A and B are shown apart, each in its own frame.
Chain A
């Protein structure tokens, strides 16, 4: 049983410190002294661009032992396919977990681009299939398909993608896609279909995941809730004669001591609060994402201490940066232990992240990962 641990490439720029909002790495914020990629030299841009910094994060991740990195995709991010094409030859081992929605690409085009990237990178493409949060964000892309239909479309998208991913002509007449005699050329068809990480918390999502996903991916939630969700997904999948693994996306704040970790987090929280004057970050309109609803129901955003929901768990990360609320805080050993607890719960892969993503890749990769046993303990296995 392998355990794949991914890092994350931040596609909306990256602050130089968890306690700052301004993305000083990249050009997603104003270009000022201290910025990187591009930097400022004698008042002018140094001509580098954000891909140069993403290259450094990817290389840091692979050097420090991560399997690869998640590359998120939203209206206000850089694009994962372009990033992967740019960095495939600049990395040796890094696996590119490209996030995308089926609405973005025709499945034949997705197959062609994917197999080409497999050829370019030596087989290092992975999918994170996301199905969108609905509402204004969905219409921004030009997609007015409702929630459950989007998941039905995702299922059909993957049916067609797998179908054309062979050199034998494939026909399909479906609700969302029609192809006739479609096939990849031999050189592409012999590349492996990427592993599929699948996100979504609703019943429609679980149904779609159980057919095609290799990994069911969830944000970190309170452990009991997570365990129930994983059990449900696995039961549905076994009912279809398949095995599915589970993965968790979680931010970590790891330091040499527990006290240092909490102090760092507290300082970041205070800095951000001062910057924001208590203004809660808003998302782009109301969507129909079940997962986002689950996150915002955790804790009260007003006090740091209120957000501590366990010895090494803090539910306020979404106040510091967009993304999941719940994260792991502690010494290197404590963080490793929490991750091992999740392995015991049934997790077979992680997507870890921390700000700033370059330095923290080294820290987490070199200090935390070696302390994990990564194995399900006999006591747990016996209890199941």
Chain B
């Protein structure tokens, strides 16, 4: 098994900040044929196609209250790519967990089963963890059982469950982060991939140990992932060496999925793919003792 490197798609503000001003000093002599036919999705789709072209394993579509919806981005990207894993970051204020699962069932059918979930927090939501627990219980329930019945504080289903071509599809692996005891307990029960806090593997050793123990007690196995922010490729070569070293440290510590924030420009994903990715040793030789 190889460590997976995921590219973080830019949020709208980052995407637009990267664009040069559209004022043209030539007083309009240069013919601009774009009209209103091009927008932020064009750049976003090109970044995603670039991630696939350079050999990255997937893209992370962040939840962006100030920008484009991650589900729409991911479904558009799915149609234009063949291999990338597509991680949709959203929260349980979405609406019905049955509906989130149903949308995902079609997404899996149409993408050769490349979709995954990240369930993150809403700002200022009380009972977030309790609601997330029910959201995931219902979503995984209708996915795997038919009939499925559930009665909770937030959600209820009677005689639900997916049948026919909607049944038996690959479950969208769920990313969850910790932050407190309740969230860690939830992750142990429901996460497939745990998002480590902290910026450096040294800071997360005890977290990894704790989550591994919690998951084992729940009869489950967790993969560990980390968000890593890099200096952009426009900086000097020694920063690329440092980037390789930083990423390698995570890999050597047992993190099997790195979600890289490497810049908002199309050129950034190509620079990463050409200059950093080839230097990472991604084969897992042995899991480190927790």
- On chain B, the residues within 8 Å of A119 by CB distance are 39-41, 68
Q: Are A140 and B160 in contact (CB under 8 A)?
A: yes
Give 1 or 0 for each of A43-63: 1 = CB within 8 Å of chain B CB: 000010111000000000000
B200 CB, min distance to chain A CBs, angstroms: 33
- The reply to whether B106 and A83 form a contact with Cβ atoms under 8 Å apart is yes
Which residue from chain A places its CB closest to the CB of B37 in the assembled complex?
A122
A139 within 8 A of B: yes
B128 to chain A minimum Cβ distance, whole angstroms, is 15
Q: B146-191: which have CB < 8 Å to A?
A: 150, 155-160, 163-166
Q: Does B226 contact A (CB under 8 A)?
A: no
Query: Which residues of B are in contact with A by a Cβ distance under 8 Å?
Result: 12, 36-37, 39-41, 45, 65-69, 71-76, 78-80, 93-99, 102-103, 105-107, 109-110, 112, 138, 150, 155-160, 163-166
Taking a contact as CB atoms under 8 Å apart, the answer to whether B37 and A85 are in contact is no
Pair B99/A105 contact, Cβ less than 8 Å: yes
CA distance A187 to B41 in the complex (A): 12
* Interface assignment of A89: CB less than 8 Å from any CB of chain B: yes
- Scoring A residues 136 to 155 as 1 if CB is less than 8 Å from chain B, else 0, what string do you get? 10011111100000000000
Q: How far is the CA of A84 from the CA of B76 in the complex (A)?
A: 9
The 3 closest A-B pairs by CB, nearest first: A85-B75, A105-B95, A139-B158
A128 to chain B, nearest CB (A): 16
In Å, the complex CA distance between A105 and B45 comes to 25
- CB A348 to nearest CB in B, in angstroms, measures 28
Nearest chain B CB to A284 CB, angstrom units: 9
Q: Add 14 more A-B contacts to A139-B158, A143-B96 (CB < 8 A).
A: A27-B109, A27-B165, A47-B112, A78-B106, A81-B75, A82-B75, A84-B75, A86-B76, A86-B110, A87-B79, A116-B73, A140-B157, A140-B158, A187-B68
Nearest CB of B to A188, in Å = 8
Residues of A within 8 A of B73 (CB): 116
Is B93 touching A108 in the complex (CB atoms < 8 A)?
A: yes
Q: Is A120 among interface residues, defined by CB-CB distance under 8 A?
A: yes
- Expressed in whole angstroms, the Cα–Cα distance for A57 and B161 within the complex equals 29
Closest to A81 in B: B103
Complex CA gap A75/B166 in Å reads 9
Question: Contact at A139–B79, with CB atoms within 8 Å?
Answer: no
* B-side contacts of A112, CB under 8 Å: 69
Residue of A nearest to B95 (CB): A105
Q: Which of B67, B78, B159 contacts A140 (CB 8 A)?
A: B159
Do residues B80 and A89 form an inter-chain contact, with CB atoms below 8 A? yes
Contact of B110 among A82, A109, A116 (CB under 8 A): A82
The 8 Å CB contact of A187, one of B67, B72, B95, is: B67
Within 8 A of B (CB), among A109-138: 109-110, 112-113, 115-117, 119-120, 122, 136
A88 and B158 contacting across the interface, CB-CB below 8 Å: no
Contacts of A103 in B (CB 8 A): 95-96
Residues of A close to B97: CB separation below 8 A:
142
Residue among B45, B80, B107 making CB contact with A82, cutoff 8 Å: B107
The A interface is mostly helix, strand or loop, or mixed, namely: helix
| With contact pairs A82-B107, A119-B68, A139-B158 given, residues A106 and B79 touching in the complex (Cβ less than 8 Å) | no
Interface size on A, residues (CB 8 A): 45
Task: Say what secondary structure dominates the interface of chain B.
Answer: helix
Given contacts A82-B103, A109-B94, A116-B68, whether A139 and B157 have CB atoms under 8 Å apart is yes
Instruction: Check: A104 CB closer than 8 A to any chain B CB.
Output: yes
> Residues of B contacting A337 with CB < 8 Å?
none
Residues of A contacting B155 in the complex (Cβ-Cβ under 8 angstroms): 142
Tell whether, in the assembled complex, residue B12 and residue A136 are in contact, meaning their CB atoms are under 8 Å apart: no
Q: Given contacts A79-B102, A79-B103, A82-B107, are A109 and B96 in contact (CB under 8 A)?
A: no
- Closest chain-A Cβ to B42's Cβ sits at a distance in Å of 9
A28 proximal to B (CB < 8 A):
yes
Q: Which residues of B contact A187 (CB under 8 A)?
A: 12, 40, 67-68
22 contacts between A and B (CB under 8 A): A49-B110, A78-B110, A79-B105, A79-B106, A79-B107, A81-B103, A85-B71, A103-B95, A103-B96, A104-B95, A105-B99, A106-B94, A109-B69, A113-B71, A116-B68, A119-B39, A139-B158, A141-B157, A142-B96, A142-B98, A142-B157, A187-B68
Q: How far is the CA of A230 from the CA of B109 in the complex (A)?
A: 40
Closest A residue to B82 by beta carbon equals A47
| Residue in B closest to A83 when the chains form the complex, CB atoms | B106
Asked if A185 lies at the interface with its beta carbon under 8 angstroms from chain B, I say yes
A381 at the interface (CB under 8 A from B): no
Confirm or deny: A300 has a beta carbon within 8 angstroms of a beta carbon on chain B.
no
CA distance A322 to B106 in the complex (A): 20
**Inter-subunit contact B158/A109 (CB<8 Å):** no
Whether the Cβ atoms of B156 and A142 lie closer than 8 Å is: yes
- Decide yes or no whether A76 CB sits under 8 A from chain B: yes
Contact flag A82-B106 (CB < 8 Å), given A105-B99, A144-B158, A185-B65: yes
| Given known A-B contacts A79-B103, A79-B105, A85 and B95 have beta carbons under 8 A apart | no
Instruction: State A187–B138 Cα separation when bound (angstroms).
Output: 34
A4 within 8 A of B: no
Q: A79-B106, A141-B99 are in contact. Are A86 and B75 (CB under 8 A)?
A: yes
Contacts of B71 in A (CB 8 A): 81, 85, 113
